């Protein structure tokens, strides 16, 4: 436990911005007490922590990487969507605030949401991922969130009215006590550490290393010749399955798009350091194969990597078994759950070995996110937000997208803050109070 005097002494010795004393001290203090601990500062965790802190909870984030944003930033999938459905906004709040700020500060342009898109992706909002990470960090610090990068939990145990989490990082090993714990690891790591049930498919969706190539003029290339060379490369093994994931589409289309989000890494799994290492190695090996192949094509000798992320982005690992499971039927029928705390909007979007064929929702349908799907079955003082929401596989293929994860994060942060204040477990917090807090912080809540 950090005593106030000790906190001020530590604060006096370092300069880490304009934070209240106890917060600055806690970032490298041996042991500490907080109201809300968020594990995983990714797409959902960033928003959960800002919301909890803005609602007055002492909030800390333990993130094993170097920055906020997770798949949105480190994974390079800087295409948050979908905030709009059927010509109206259905997800707003803190995620939207950060996205809008990132667009503005990058002199970007919002899509035109007033007309139906030909493809759903036209209503995603392209952002500068690294700018988004910086803005997310600024918003966290502004709200008083303690950020602990390069740190991860070693053990979790129930303790009194909350939790005791032992963490380790470079030069730090400590116990963090919290009243409410939010698992935003993208793979329900905390739920797994607690030995609670998690769901996983025998074969999960492939991941993708985000990159793009430049250095050639696709309009001057001979598409037929390129296709012949591509088919040959697949047979002789210089290119492998997944290097270009749109199997039915000619390779010239890969070149026209620079290869962005056009590769699949089969078996990519972020569950452990070992599987993450394998996913990154496989992703980079694929990029090298593609680069060497493209440079061998007529007219492409100057091809180069214009952009390449440092990690393979992973689509699917574990989902929780929650108090309620969102099914595909719930999703495509737009079921309004009685404890809905936000919306989700996306086609059913399952990637497999043959690529992806999104199934759009019928006009007017806007699915909802029930609070109980963020609560592991039988748990107390524990919430999960992000792609590991309790859902069947097909519902999950839509729920996992970034605007939905941000809405879940905000709902989890608001619920955890209220639960911590009341000394209650999340499902004992009146749903009306959660919704009122969410609305106060700009979220759109069904009903
Ligand atoms: C290739 C690809 C393309 C996609 N395309 C789109 C798209 O176009 N638009 C869209 O909206 N969505 C898209 N998605 C989906 C979406 O990006 C993700 O599902 C979503 O970002 C997941 O958010 P999350 O918060 O659950 O996890 P993440 O954003 O992955 O965050 C998890 C965080 O937890 C941290 N972490 C993990 N384990 C631990 C641990 N044990 N201790 C501490 N920290 C930990 C990680 O470092 C990470 O920061 C795509 C996904 C992929 C992979």
Ligand 1 atom closest to the Cα of residue 42 is 31
What count of Cα atoms within 13 Å lies in the side-chain half-sphere of residue 321? Answer: 9
Q: Is 34 helix (H, G, I), strand (E, B) or coil?
A: strand
For ligand 1, atom 51, which residue shows the shortest CA distance? 315
Task: Give me the percent of the chain exceeding a pLDDT of 70.
Answer: 94
How far, in Å, from the CA of 365 to the mean position of ligand 1? 25
Mean pLDDT score, 382-398: 97
Residue 352 banded pLDDT, cuts 50, 70, 90: confident
What tens digit of pLDDT does each residue of 255-273 get?
Answer: 999 999 999 999 999 999 9
Question: With the C-alpha atoms ordered 407, 64, 1, 10, is the resulting torsion angle positive or negative?
Answer: negative
pLDDT at site 355: 74
pLDDT at site 28: 72
pLDDT at site 351: 84
Mean pLDDT score, 375-402: 97
What tens digit of pLDDT does each residue of 299-336 get?
Answer: 999 999 999 999 999 999 999 999 999 999 999 999 99
- Could you tell me whether strands 208-214 and 198-199 are parallel, antiparallel, or unpaired per DSSP bridges? unpaired
pLDDT over 50 (residue 150): yes
What tens digit of pLDDT does each residue of 53-68 get?
Answer: 999 999 999 999 999 9
pLDDT over 50 (residue 12): no
pLDDT at site 326: 98
What count of Cα atoms within 13 Å lies in the side-chain half-sphere of residue 158? Answer: 10
Mean pLDDT score, 127-142: 97
Contacts with 30 (C-beta within 8 Å, 6 or more apart), sequence order: 174, 175
How far, in Å, from the CA of 431 to the mean position of ligand 1? 27
Using an 8 Å Cβ cutoff, are 39 and 189 in contact? yes
Residue 21 banded pLDDT, cuts 50, 70, 90: low
How far, in Å, from the CA of 280 to the mean position of ligand 1? 15
Question: With the C-alpha atoms ordered 251, 253, 259, 262, is the resulting torsion angle positive or negative?
Answer: negative
Q: How far apart (Å, rounded) are the C-alpha atoms in residues 176 and 311?
A: 28
Higher confidence at residue 357 or residue 269? 269
Ligand 1 atom closest to the Cα of residue 189 is 41
Ligand 1 atom closest to the Cα of residue 314 is 53
Q: How far is CA 39 from the centre of its chain?
A: 12
Task: Give me the percent of the chain exceeding a pLDDT of 90.
Answer: 89
Residue 22 banded pLDDT, cuts 50, 70, 90: low
Q: How far apart (Å, rounded) are the C-alpha atoms in residues 413 and 96?
A: 15
Which residues of 256-372 form beta strands (DSSP E)?
304-313, 319-320, 340-343, 351-352, 355-356, 368-370
How far, in Å, from the CA of 189 to the mean position of ligand 1? 13
Q: How far is CA 171 from the centre of its chain?
A: 27
Mean pLDDT score, 181-199: 98
Mean pLDDT score, 173-179: 96
Q: C-alpha angle 85/86/92, rounded to 5°?
A: 35
Q: Which two tokens stand for residue 210?
A: 């985000």
Residue linked to tokens 């966290």: 140
Q: How far apart (Å, rounded) are the C-alpha atoms in residues 83 and 85?
A: 7
Binding-site residues, ligand 1, Cβ < 6 A: 39-45, 62-65, 70-72, 75, 77, 79-81, 124, 152-153, 184-186, 189, 207-208, 261, 313-315, 386-387, 400-402, 405
pLDDT at site 354: 76
How far, in Å, from the CA of 76 to the mean position of ligand 1? 10
pLDDT over 50 (residue 10): no
Picking from 254, 252, 267, 281, the residue whose alpha carbon sits closest to that of residue 314 is: 267
Ligand 1 atom closest to the Cα of residue 80 is 11
User: Exposed, middle or buried, 17 (CB in 10 Å: 0-12/13-18/19+)?
Assistant: exposed
Mean pLDDT score, 40-51: 98
What tens digit of pLDDT does each residue of 77-125 get?
Answer: 999 999 999 999 999 999 999 999 999 999 999 999 999 899 999 999 9
pLDDT over 60 (residue 337): yes
Picking from 84, 86, 88, 87, the residue whose alpha carbon sits closest to that of residue 99 is: 84
Q: Which domains does the chain have, with CATH numbers?
A: 1-198+319-348+359-447 (3.50.50.60), 208-313 (no CATH)
Mean pLDDT score, 276-281: 98
How far, in Å, from the CA of 70 to the mean position of ligand 1? 5
How far, in Å, from the CA of 42 to the mean position of ligand 1? 6
For ligand 1, atom 40, which residue shows the shortest CA distance? 152
For ligand 1, atom 27, which residue shows the shortest CA distance? 186
pLDDT at site 224: 97
How far, in Å, from the CA of 135 to the mean position of ligand 1? 18
For ligand 1, atom 3, which residue shows the shortest CA distance? 77
Best mutation site among 186, 189, 308 for ligand 1 pocket (most ligand atoms within 8 Å of CB):
186
């Amino acid at each position: 436990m950090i005593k106030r005097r000790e906190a001020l002494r530590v604060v006096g010795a370092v300069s880490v911005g304009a934070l209240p004393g106890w917060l600055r001290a806690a970032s490298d203090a041996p042991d500490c007490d907080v109201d809300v601990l968020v594990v995983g500062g990714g797409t959902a965790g960033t928003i959960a922590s800002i919301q909890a802190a803005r609602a007055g909870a002492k909030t800390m984030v333990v993130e094993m990487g170097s920055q906020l944003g997770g798949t949105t930033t480190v994974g390079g999938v800087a295409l948050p969507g979908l905030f709009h459905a059927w010509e109206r906004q259905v997800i707003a709040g803190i995620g939207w605030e950060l996205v809008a700020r990132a667009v503005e500060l990058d002199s970007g342009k919002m899509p035109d949401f007033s007309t139906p898109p030909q493809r759903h992706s036209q209503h995603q909002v392209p952002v500068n991922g690294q700018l988004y990470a910086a803005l997310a960090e600024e918003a966290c610090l502004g709200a008083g969130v303690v950020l602990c990068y390069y740190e991860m939990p070693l053990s979790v145990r129930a303790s009194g009215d909350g939790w005791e989490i032992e963490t380790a990082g470079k030069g730090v090993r400590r116990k963090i006590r919290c009243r409410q714990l939010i698992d935003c690891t993208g793979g329900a790591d905390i739920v797994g550490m607690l030995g609670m049930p998690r769901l996983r498919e025998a074969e999960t969706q492939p991941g993708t290393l985000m990159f793009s190539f430049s250095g050639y003029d696709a309009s001057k290339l001979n598409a037929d010749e390129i296709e012949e060379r591509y088919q040959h490369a697949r047979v002789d093994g210089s290119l492998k399955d997944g290097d270009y994931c749109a199997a039915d589409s000619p390779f010239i289309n890969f070149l026209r798009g620079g290869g962005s989000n056009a590769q699949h890494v089969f078996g990519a799994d972020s569950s452990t350091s070992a599987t993450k290492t394998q996913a990154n190695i496989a992703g980079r090996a694929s990029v090298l194969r593609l680069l060497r192949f493209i440079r061998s094509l007529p007219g492409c000798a100057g091809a180069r990597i214009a952009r390449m992320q440092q990690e393979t982005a992973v689509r699917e690992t574990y989902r929780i078994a929650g108090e309620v499971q969102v099914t595909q039927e719930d999703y495509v029928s737009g079921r309004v759950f009685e404890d809905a705390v936000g919306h989700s909007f996306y086609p059913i979007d399952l990637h497999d070995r043959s690529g992806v064929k999104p199934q759009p929702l019928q006009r007017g349908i806007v699915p909802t996110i029930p609070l109980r799907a963020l609560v592991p079955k039988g748990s107390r003082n524990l919430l999960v937000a992000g792609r590991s929401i309790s859902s069947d596989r097909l519902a999950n293929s839509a729920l996992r997208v970034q605007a939905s994860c941000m809405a879940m994060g905000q709902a989890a942060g608001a619920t955890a803050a209220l639960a911590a204040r009341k000394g209650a477990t999340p499902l004992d917090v009146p749903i009306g109070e959660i919704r009122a807090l969410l609305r106060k912080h700009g979220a759109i809540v069904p009903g």
